[in-house]
Amino acid sequence: MSSQSQRPLELILARNLMSALSTPAFLVDEGGILVFYNEAAGMLLGKRFEEVGTVGPEEWGSMFGPFDEGDEPIPYDELPLVVAVRNGRPAHADFEIRSVDGTHHRIEASAFPILTPHGSQGAIAIFWPAEGEGDSPDTTASRNGTGA
Amino acid sequence: MKVKLWGTRGSVPSPGPETIRYGGNTSCVGLTLSDGSLLALDAGTGIRNLGLALPEEPTRLHILLTHLHLDHIQGLVFFAPAFRPQTEIVIWGPASPEASLRDRIARYISAPLSPVEVRELPCDVSFRHTPETEWEIGSARIRAASVAHRGPTLGYRIDDGGSSLAYIPDHEPALGADIDALDEDWISGFALAQGADMLIHDGQYADAEYPDHIGWGHSSLSHSLSFARRTGAKRTVLFHHDPLHSDARLDALGAEARERWAATGGRPEEVELGVEGGEYEVRAPAPQAVEQA
């Protein structure tokens, strides 16, 4: 019998869809591990997924945040993606994330769970620039001025 | 494990002089396990001839359905053993949040589409959703997993006596993805087919036909060959032939498949197009001699 681990089909199809989107999108598995983000998200963060790879929440937090308006790290448990995957409910929030060059981007994130007949397999989050922050991730204003 | 292809056609039965060699019956593969247990993979119109070939003595048979599209269940009401009280049939298939497997199949085996109802079948028939984990049927260990197609669809892997068969007749692993570039664990159906001694896989479209059928749930020849190469299947039988493909067209596709397989380092005889009535014996690879240093 094969011993190769296999991602659930629902995650595979979600990744395929996200790969075709121009909106930044993130994918976590049922354990809350970031398993993919698309090119648009890579442009926002300043690093392609292929350079980052699969990362757990602590590593993710140290690289990209997120942060609240007071520049305090937002607890992992409060992130929309984590709420979605743990509670099986959609979630929405706005916060800041930090790209690799130190630029902060204020964004809104909507996350929804990937529910299957076998239970929750993960969640997808789609990001937009927060209202008043520009029309696309490329034009998102940055607090330090380097990203505008 | 003995394998016989009772129906190799996809989508709709396509009998006629132009399809007489590859056959016009829809998906059905018969398996005889090493302990004599009988399995049918899908119940397209090919299962009618499988039923006629079975003895009338008491029989226990497992039917493993990949999904409930008509070309995979249409033969059920023409399956002679189902009309014998001494037959026990266990039908396995994908779960759905909408309705039970029995109720979904009963939509076909009921008026006005069928003259009989499921409850009227004289055989002992039961319906089971495939488990998430491996399970045993006779001497085999069976594994089912969802694969990329339209609607809830499974592929199967059957391991018996050290040999393995992967059956993924309806599959579009390249939908929105580049099979050649993805990591293995992100390829639909990969774990089912990995290293299989025999892979029976969707080969519905020629490459030139695929762009007009993206999202229909099937593979182009290139996708099928890439999938076979990535999974390391030892022998690949392309299956679920398009109903518009005549014998001559399939001959040409088969020649192209072998040529392209050889061009990537394989042996031409490792890839072929399934022919109705084709029989195989899937055996475990012979042990390799260990060279002494």
> Mean of the per-residue pLDDT values for chain B?
95
Confidence band for B292, pLDDT divided at 50, 70 and 90: low
CB B262 within 8 Å of CB B268: yes
Nearest to A2 among B96, B97, B157 (CB): B157
pTM for the model stands at 0.88
Nearest to B176 among A4, A10, A17 (CB): A17
Question: Does any CB of chain B come closer than 8 Å to the CB of residue A148?
Answer: no
Asked if A4 and B191 come within 8 Å (Cβ–Cβ), the reply is: yes
* pLDDT reading at A138 higher than 50: no
Nearest to B190 among A6, A15, A17 (CB): A6
Nearest to A9 among B97, B147, B159 (CB): B147
What pLDDT score was predicted for residue B293?
Answer: 52
Chain-centre distance for alpha carbon A112: 11
Q: Which residues of A touch B194 (CB under 8 A)?
A: 2, 4
Q: Rounded to whole angstroms, how far apart are CA atoms B17 and B20?
A: 5
* pLDDT reading at A147 higher than 60: no
Residues paired with residue A55 on neighbouring β-strands, in sequence order: A34
Asked if A117 and B96 come within 8 Å (Cβ–Cβ), the reply is: yes
Q: Rounded to whole angstroms, how far apart are CA atoms B44 and B73?
A: 5
Domains of chain B: 2-281 (3.60.15.10)
Question: Does any CB of chain A come closer than 8 Å to the CB of residue B172?
Answer: no
Confidence band for A133, pLDDT divided at 50, 70 and 90: low
Tell me: the pLDDT tens digits for B151-164?
889 999 999 999 99
Q: Which residues of B touch A16 (CB under 8 A)?
A: 175-177
Nearest to B46 by CA among B277, B259, B244: B277
What pLDDT score was predicted for residue B286?
Answer: 67
* pLDDT reading at A20 higher than 70: yes
Mean pLDDT, residues B244-266 taken together: 98
Confidence band for A134, pLDDT divided at 50, 70 and 90: low
Q: Rounded to whole angstroms, how far apart are CA atoms B287 and B224?
A: 29
Strand order in the sheet with B124-129: B124-129, B87-93, B59-64, B38-41, B28-32, B2-7, B279-281
Asked if A12 and B194 come within 8 Å (Cβ–Cβ), the reply is: no
Tell me: the pLDDT tens digits for B168-225?
999 999 998 899 999 999 999 999 999 999 999 999 999 999 999 999 999 999 999 9
> Which of A53-57, A131-135, A139-143, B88-92 is predicted with the least confidence, judged by mean pLDDT?
A139-143
Question: Does any CB of chain A come closer than 8 Å to the CB of residue B145?
Answer: yes
What pLDDT score was predicted for residue B171?
Answer: 98
* pLDDT reading at B92 higher than 90: yes
CATH class of A9-139: alpha beta
CA distance B18 to chain A (A): 37
Confidence band for A146, pLDDT divided at 50, 70 and 90: very low
What pLDDT score was predicted for residue B290?
Answer: 64
Residue of A11, A13, A16, A33 to mutate, interface with B, max B Cβ within 10 Å: A16
Confidence band for A2, pLDDT divided at 50, 70 and 90: very low
Q: In terms of pLDDT, which residue wins out, A44 or B101? A: B101
Tell me: the pLDDT tens digits for A119-128?
889 999 999 8
Q: Rounded to whole angstroms, how far apart are CA atoms B182 and B195?
A: 18
Q: Which residues of B touch A50 (CB under 8 A)?
A: none
Tell me: the pLDDT tens digits for A30-88?
988 999 999 999 998 899 998 989 988 778 877 888 888 888 888 888 889 889 999 99
Question: Interface pTM (ipTM) of the complex?
Answer: 0.77
User: Could you state, in order of their start, the residue ranges of all structural domains in chain A?
Assistant: 9-139
Asked if B177 and A4 come within 8 Å (Cβ–Cβ), the reply is: no
- For B180, the token pair is 């050649």
Confidence band for B53, pLDDT divided at 50, 70 and 90: very high
